[in-house]
Amino acid sequence: MLSTDISEGWISERALSRELRRNASGDRYHAETAHALATQRRASATKFSKSDERHITIIKKGLSLGWSPENISARMKVEVPEISLSHTTVYKRITANKTQGGEFAAHEKVSEAMNADVFFAKPYASYQ
């Protein structure tokens, strides 16, 4: 069955080899263990934990100027490329901050003070 899946293009031999090399223990492969290892690698990845105390300040200032996550991300790439974030990560940080009752949870007050609407469009949702 495995050779059939490979020959039909479901998974490349290279991807399969990498999966087995990274997640097999001895001569056995367990999907649950592989998933746990992948989750652990993802959580400890630099990209996942990339955090700098300046991020909140930059995002807060961008939002106060009415910028979208895309605008904030683009500006970070120009001004502070060493700590820049993708627009998706900026959006996730805003959402996480709001969920935890952080500084961005008060965006309604900022919107009211500036007499402007504030929108948080979802990444990759161009229709919003």
Q: Is pLDDT above 70 for 125?
A: no
pLDDT tens column, 50-69: 678 889 899 989 988 989 99
Domain ranges of the chain: 2-45, 50-114
Single pTM value for the model? 0.48
Four-CA torsion 24, 27, 28, 31, nearest 10 degrees: 30
pLDDT tens column, 70-122: 999 999 999 999 889 999 989 888 888 776 667 666 666 667 777 777 666 66
